[in-house]
Amino acid sequence: MSPAMVMAAERKQADNLQSQYQKGVKHLCENGINKVPKKYILPVSDRPNMKDRELINVNKQNFKLPIIDFAELQGSNRPQVLKSLANACEQYGFFQLVNHGIPSDVISSMIDVSTRFFELPFEERAKYMSSDMQSPIRYGTSFNQNKDDVFCWRDFLKLICNPISDVVPHWPSSPVDLRRLVAAYAKETKYLFLMIMVSILESLGLVGTTENKTEEDDILKDFEDGSQLMVVNCYPPCPEPNLTLGMPPHSDYGFLTLLLQDEVEGLQIQHQDKWVTVEPIANAFVVNVGDHLEIFSNGKYKSVLHRVSVNSVKSRISVASLHSLPFNYMVRPSPKLINEENPRGYKDTDFSSFLEYISSCEPKKKNFLESRKLC
Ligand code: OGA
Ligand code: NI
Task: Report cis status (omega within 30 of 0) of the bond before 103.
Answer: no
pLDDT at residue 89, as a whole number: 98
Residue nearest to atom 10 of ligand 1 (CA): 318
pLDDT at residue 57, as a whole number: 53
pLDDT at residue 67, as a whole number: 98
Is residue 228 within 8 Å of residue 258, measured between CB atoms? no
> Measured between alpha carbons, how far is 363 from 182 in angstroms, rounded to an integer?
32
Q: Which ligand is nearest to the CA of 262?
A: 1
DSSP string for 106-122: HHHHHHHHHHHHHTS-H
Q: How far is CA 98 from CA 110, 250, 285, 321, 330, in A?
A: 17, 25, 7, 16, 32
Contacts of residue 40, Cβ cutoff 8 Å, sequence gap at least 6: 150, 151, 152, 153, 243, 244
DSSP string for 169-197: GGS---STTHHHHHHHHHHHHHHHHHHHH
Regarding the beta carbon of 307 and ligand 1, being less than 6 Å apart is answered no
Is residue 152 within 8 Å of residue 244, measured between CB atoms? yes
Beta-carbon-side half-sphere exposure of residue 233 (alpha carbons within 13 Å): 25
pLDDT at residue 15, as a whole number: 61
pLDDT at residue 364, as a whole number: 46
Partners of residue 277 on adjacent β-strands? 268
Maximum separation of any 2 CA atoms in the chain, in Å? 83
Calculate how far, in angstroms, residue 346's C-alpha sits from the geometric centre of ligand 2: 21
Regarding the beta carbon of 233 and ligand 1, being less than 6 Å apart is answered yes
Calculate how far, in angstroms, residue 64's C-alpha sits from the geometric centre of ligand 1: 18
Per-residue pLDDT of the chain (375 residues; tens, 9 = 90+): 788 887 777 766 666 666 889 999 999 999 889 999 999 999 999 999 755 554 555 455 568 999 999 999 999 999 999 999 999 999 999 999 999 999 999 999 999 999 999 999 999 999 999 877 778 899 999 988 888 889 999 999 999 999 999 999 999 999 999 999 999 999 999 999 999 999 999 999 997 655 666 666 788 899 999 999 999 999 999 999 999 999 999 999 999 999 999 999 999 999 999 999 999 999 999 999 999 999 999 999 999 999 999 999 999 999 999 999 998 899 999 999 999 999 999 999 887 777 777 666 554 444 778 888 886
Task: Report cis status (omega within 30 of 0) of the bond before 48.
Answer: no
Q: What is the pLDDT of residues 338-369, one digit of tens each?
A: 999 999 999 998 877 777 776 665 544 447 78
pLDDT at residue 363, as a whole number: 46
3-class secondary-structure state, position 224:
helix
> Measured between alpha carbons, how far is 88 from 228 in angstroms, rounded to an integer?
23
Q: What is the pLDDT of residues 57-94, one digit of tens each?
A: 545 556 899 999 999 999 999 999 999 999 999 999 99
Closest-lying ligand 1 atom to the alpha carbon of residue 288: 7
Q: How far is CA 161 from CA 106, 132, 173, 182, in A?
A: 16, 17, 15, 9
- In the 8-state DSSP scheme, what is residue 243? G
Is residue 333 within 8 Å of residue 349, measured between CB atoms? no
Residue 174 CB coordination number (10 Å): 14
Residue 115 CB coordination number (10 Å): 15
> Which residue in 287, 230, 268 sits closest to 100, CA to CA?
287
> Measured between alpha carbons, how far is 86 from 192 in angstroms, rounded to an integer?
18
pLDDT at residue 134, as a whole number: 75
pLDDT at residue 289, as a whole number: 98
pLDDT at residue 214, as a whole number: 66
With residue 127 as reference, give the H or E element that holds it: none
Closest-lying ligand 1 atom to the alpha carbon of residue 318: 10
> Measured between alpha carbons, how far is 5 from 176 in angstroms, rounded to an integer?
49
pLDDT at residue 16, as a whole number: 66
pLDDT at residue 332, as a whole number: 93
Is residue 193 within 8 Å of residue 323, measured between CB atoms? yes
